[in-house]
Amino acid sequence: MAERLRPRTLEGYVGQEHLVGKGSVLRKIIESGNLPSFILWGPPGVGKTTLAKIIANTLERPFYTLSAVSSGVKDVREAIKKAKSQAFFSKPNPILFIDEIHRFSKSQQDSLLAAVEDGTITLIGATTENPSFEVISPLLSRCRVYVLKPLDISDLEKLLRNALKNETELKKKKIKIEETHALFLHSGGDARKLYNIIELTVNYFSDKEEIIINDKNIIAGLQTETATYDKNGEMHYDIISAFIKSVRGSDPNAAVYWLARMIEGGEDVKFIARRLIILAAEDIGLANPNALLIANNCFSAVNVIGYPESRIILSEATIYLANSPKSNSAYKAIDKAQDLVRKTGNLSVPLHLRNAPTKLMKELGYGKNYKYAHSYDENFVKQEYLPEKLSGKKLYEAQNNSAEEKTKQLMQKRWGNKYE
């Protein structure tokens, strides 16, 4: 169904308005015809492959596609050779689309560099992984990165209506929509998964029955799905989500279970270890700062060791993080700070906090009256560190754990009621 319903034009493309909506950055580039090499980064089922095909179709470019799972250096070189042959016929340079580019080895990525650099091909890569970790720096520096977001409810509603109206098989059936909560919840912002769930639900009914789409029938249809772990498919994100939530919820038994599901499925050790680093910072944070050290050491160790022994290292780190006290105060603080900066980012730096490397700057008062903390008792002295208009603005909220209780007491001692 997903393939049958794949749109062919930008007008039929659903979602990613920030990239392809009217007046958006990628839309303008497509309309100009001056297409740079770029990487589309986002979760499964949000339209990466579809967008690449639409771009090639819109610009009438030759389109070559490779999958990093099944292609090697030889395949890359053959695609580049074909692209070079096109130049003799004054055709626009072809687009080479590489799905799951994060799975390309360094040598495979190296083989792309010259062709991207000299414009023999325009590279469009698709990845579910952070390109900063998985794409080599020389190639990444030659590509822009566009982030695709999970589809929201309004996007999924459009896809559902489109499927019911235009999908060949669905048009033959009598379908009644009663409720969509479970359908959209289990789709998880993934169009392909949405279509798969619809198919599962439709197949749950006999050919002569009226098909009722409601939460009960969606769940019944989903129960017929085989519960396996496919690191290249939909279960990948479901299971990592369960893993993260189990650690966050301080359940080491559940956390190790989901860890084992990933290990048995052949999941990349670096993928798991990176999630542990994020967990340590986001969910444990200042309640136990050592958690970040443990997670970072875990990442370093599994890179050296690999499977099967790295499973022990991952298990140790997972259990430690699950049993650690939890705090998301640092995560919440930077969110608040960034939101404040978006609203007040033009406020001037107070003069006493400015750097004064030149005589003119000193004459203008840069750095004047700044109090050097180390010159005072306990290496602390009260002075204003925020712009005047933001004085007393509280961004960090200490949470209820032993480590942050001490921080709370120390802040009270130093700042009194300033940040109440």
| Mean residue pLDDT across the chain | 86
Highest mean pLDDT among 159-168, 319-328, 333-342: 319-328
Is the model's pLDDT at 226 over the cut of 50? no
Would you kindly state where each structural domain of the chain is located, as residue ranges?
10-147, 153-222, 235-323, 340-415
- Of all residues in the chain, the percent with pLDDT exceeding 90 is 28
Q: Burial level of 375, CB count in 10 A (0-12/13-18/19+)?
A: exposed
pLDDT at 235: 64
In the predicted structure, residue 318 carries a pLDDT above the cut 90: yes
For residues 367-376, average pLDDT = 91
Q: Which range has highest mean pLDDT (51-65, 108-122, 188-202, 284-298)?
A: 284-298
* Contact of 39 with 146, CB cutoff 8 Å: yes
Q: With a cut of 90, say whether residue 324 has pLDDT above it.
A: yes
Judge whether residue 263 has pLDDT over 60: yes
- Report the percentage of the chain scoring pLDDT > 70: 95
| CATH 3.40.640.10 at 235-323, yes or no | no
Across the range 54-75, mean pLDDT stands at 84
Arch. (CATH architecture) of 340-415: Orthogonal Bundle (1.10)
Instruction: Assess whether the region 10-147 and the region 340-415 belong to the same CATH fold.
Output: no
Q: Please tell me the class of the 10-147 domain.
A: alpha beta
The predicted pLDDT at position 53 comes to 92
pLDDT in tens, 25-42: 899 998 888 888 999 998
**Does the pLDDT at position 70 exceed 80?**
no
Q: Considering only residues 367 and 293, tell me which one the structure prediction assigns the higher pLDDT.
A: 293
**pLDDT of residue 234 exceeding 60:** no
Residue 228 has pLDDT above 50, yes or no: no
Q: Is residue 222's pLDDT more than 80?
A: no
Q: What sign results for the dihedral spanned by CA atoms 69, 75, 80, 84?
A: negative
Instruction: Enumerate the β-bridge partners of residue 99.
Output: 67, 126
CA angle, 270 as apex, 265 and 275 as ends, to 5°? 90
Q: What is the 3-state secondary structure (H, E, C) of 251-278?
A: CHHHHHHHHHHHHHCCCCHHHHHHHHHH
Q: Which CATH class name applies to 153-222?
A: mainly alpha
Which range has the worst mean pLDDT, 115-119, 141-145, 279-283, 328-332?
115-119
